[in-house]
Amino acid sequence: MATSKSSGSKSPASRAARIKTVRSMASRADRHLLYERSVQDPEGDTRVLARLFRRLKNRVPQHLREDFCGTATLSAHWVRDHDDRTATGVDLDAETLAWGRAHHLRGVESQVDLLERNVLDGGGRKADISCALNFSYCVFKTRDALRRYFEVARSTLADDGIFVIDCFGGWGAFRPERERRKVEDFYYEWERAHFDPLTNEVLCHIHFSFLDGSRIDRAFTYDWRWWSVQELRELLFEAGFKAVHALWERTDDDGEGTGAYYEPRRVENQELWWTYVVAER
């Protein structure tokens, strides 16, 4: 009679079953963490915001308001940079705010106040600096809507406070295409899916792909109106701001940005550009 004996080898069927249970890199990834690693630079933003305020107001800023704060990584970095700083973060998305509390606010809960509300509702402590970065204000698609937001932003500032937004443009900024770059162990993809030159509405997506071939398509989608620097200037003045500064980044001999900003009278257009607009209350 034939007998079987134990073996450490696996049958082809069992190996296939085991392989199927291995989760892809995409299924294990956290889209908020991927976004922070590929898009945000809270250390750099903190440095620039503080520097801009000191240049205009000749004092040290303490309280930051971060509209459309998402995971509030900027607010968290702001207060961790100096013990006497505080911050208010405002966002409509409860899940994203909860993620931010769990991942960024441990140990600094008393310094950061996260508000689950519409940025148009205003409120909260008066800020030295209020900001709406990563083009988040572009969700407002009409002049009336954006002017109203700027009025609310102004109302949240201290008497000598400043409001900071970033903006982008260039002749290549609206060409339908995907830009792909490697970030540590994954790839970040920025897709400009559609631009309507009659309305300046632009549709963009963020995708992530991984070394095992898995993907997260449309991890984030942005349905915006693009606003020119001049339109932003006009609307900020209409909202009551007393001064508006359109900045431009200095470049080195190789054409790379230096992180230093100045206020030019005019500039040459580029394929792609990105910069800050700063309004004084």
pLDDT in tens, 63-73: 999 999 999 99
pLDDT of res. 260: 83
31-170+227-280 carries CATH number 3.40.50.150: yes
Q: In what order do the strands lie in the sheet with 243-246?
A: 112-116, 86-91, 63-67, 127-132, 157-169, 273-280, 243-246
- Residue 106: which H helix or E strand, with range? none
pLDDT in tens, 152-184: 999 999 999 999 999 999 999 999 999 999 999
Is 88 buried (19+), middle (13-18) or exposed (0-12) by CB count in 10 A? buried
The domain spans of the chain are 31-170+227-280, 177-221
pLDDT of res. 258: 80
Residues of the chain short of pLDDT 50, as ranges, are: 1-7
CA nearest 157: which of 98, 241, 226, 69? 241
pLDDT of res. 256: 78
Q: What is the torsional sign of CA 99, 183, 217, 210?
A: negative
Q: Is this prediction's pTM over 0.85? A: yes
Name the β-bridge partners of 177. Answer: 192
pLDDT of res. 3: 44
Query: How many other C-beta atoms can be found within 10 angstroms of the C-beta atom of residue 132?
Result: 24
Buried/exposed code over 188-202 (b: 16+ C-beta within 10 A; e: otherwise): bbbbbeebeeeebeb
pLDDT of res. 9: 54
87: Cα separation from own chain's centroid: 16
Q: How many CA atoms lie within 13 A of 43 on its CB side?
A: 1
Radius of gyration of the chain (CA): 23
Q: Which H, E and C letters describe 201-259, residue by residue?
A: EEEEEEEEEECCCCEEEEEEEEEEECCCHHHHHHHHHHCCCCEEEECEEEECCCCCEEE
